[in-house]
Amino acid sequence: MLYLNLSNNSFHDGIPAEIGSLVSLQVLLDLSRNLLSGEIPWQLGNLIKLEVFVLSHNNFTGFIPSTMDQMQSLRIVDLSYNELEGPIPKSKAFQEAPPEAFTHNKGLCGNRPSLMNCPPSVNTTKDRKHLILLIVLPVSGASFFLTILIGFVCILRKEWRKSMRNKLIDSQQGNLFTVWSYDGKLVYEDINGATEGFNAKYCIGVGGHGSVYKAKLSTGQIVAVKKLHPLQYTRSDDLKTFESEIQALNKIRHRNIVKLHGFCLHAKQSFLVYEYLERGSLARILDNAEQATELDWSKRINIVKGVVNALCYMHHDCKPPIIHRDISSSNILLDRKYEARVSDFGTARLIKLDSSNWTGLAGTYGYIAPGNMNLTTSLEMQTFPLLFSYF
């Protein structure tokens, strides 16, 4: 086995230590975007041929095992969006990794511009114990566990293919929920429970096409849920269009664009699930005199840069290009470090609008290919400076 990709599933608990016995892994080990937790097994340091190692978007805790110093073949690592702490390994891949590879962790440290310096008293006793176990642990049962793991992976792949064939949305038959990379029914029930049936006390914003709720899932993850007004589409072609466009938006990956986790589509209840940004919208901050004073010029310039980067990505790197059509302070969200995220696009073509709006395309403007409208990327960039004239 040269590579193992189990990303975008709903795996719980920890990584099986037996994966460290897959010493033939060379191209890729990707366990990202799951619900894995616990410490990273020190046995993974045995994968000395591995070139790409991705554990991002999970809930791992503790230290990165020092046994990973011996993974000299590594070229790319990504441990972002976990709860890891302590020093990063000394191998070349870790020492030369970009800052994004370690962001959103509890307290990683090391001699890297994006990390804090490690205190002299960092306790590495746990890693030393791991090294002792590495020497004395018997390996006679490795082949047995390897056989079990391969069988487990084959079963998972079979079930995944089956679920992909059956996930076409049909609201008339009551197939309520499809969320990419998750168990749809499980997440739907989790969100409904976290908001107590979308109780008003969890509402953090109201817009023209729905309300936004803050939901803390059973895993501890906090998300923003935009509950849409009832959709009017009933034809199968319209539902397929909704699904394909949301799927395209779900694949967008950029640090200055709000991440869309998934969606629920039903004639009576529909919502989009986004990442949650702590500080809310730029408009809310600017309207609050006390919070606006904390937004110094360095932060404001950084916000402008973030929005420009997001627009350039949507206009030039996405295929087909995406034109937002509603860049406003209400649609720019900020995280706790005042990093900007462009939000609220992807519903303009999907919601029937009343006659008081622009013909067929007004409202919260969204995911629209340039060939389908008169607006161009050039016009969007020309109108963009008006947003920041209020700074």
Nearest to 227 by CA among 201, 251, 244, 209: 209
Task: Give me the residue label for tokens 């360095």.
Answer: 298
* Per-residue tokens: 221: 């993850």
In the chain, alpha helices (H)? 92-95, 125-136, 142-165, 184-194, 236-250, 282-287, 289-293, 297-312, 377-383
126 known ligand binder:
no
CA 387 to each of CA 60, 283, 349: distance values in angstroms, whole numbers, following the listed order = 40, 10, 24
Whether 237 sits among the annotated catalytic residues: the reply is: no
* Distance from C-alpha of 271 to C-alpha of 87, rounded to nearest angstrom: 40
Q: Is 284 exposed, middle or buried (0-12, 13-18, 19+ CB in 10 A)?
A: middle
- CB–CB of 72/47 below 8 Å? no
Pairing of strands 83-87, 177-178: unpaired
Task: Say which of 326, 335, 344, 354 is annotated catalytic.
Answer: 326
* Per-residue tokens: 11: 């795996």
* Distance from C-alpha of 130 to C-alpha of 67, rounded to nearest angstrom: 8
**Concatenated DSSP letters for 185-213?**
HHHHHHHHHHTTTT-GGGEEEEETTEEEE
Q: Is 33 exposed, middle or buried (0-12, 13-18, 19+ CB in 10 A)?
A: buried
Pairing of strands 83-87, 107-109: parallel
* Per-residue tokens: 211: 């309300």
* Distance from C-alpha of 70 to C-alpha of 97, rounded to nearest angstrom: 16
What Rg, from alpha-carbon coordinates, does the chain have? 23
Q: Mark the binding-site residues for ATP, compressed into ranges.
A: 227
Residues forming the active site: 326
Q: Mark the binding-site residues, compressed into ranges.
A: 227
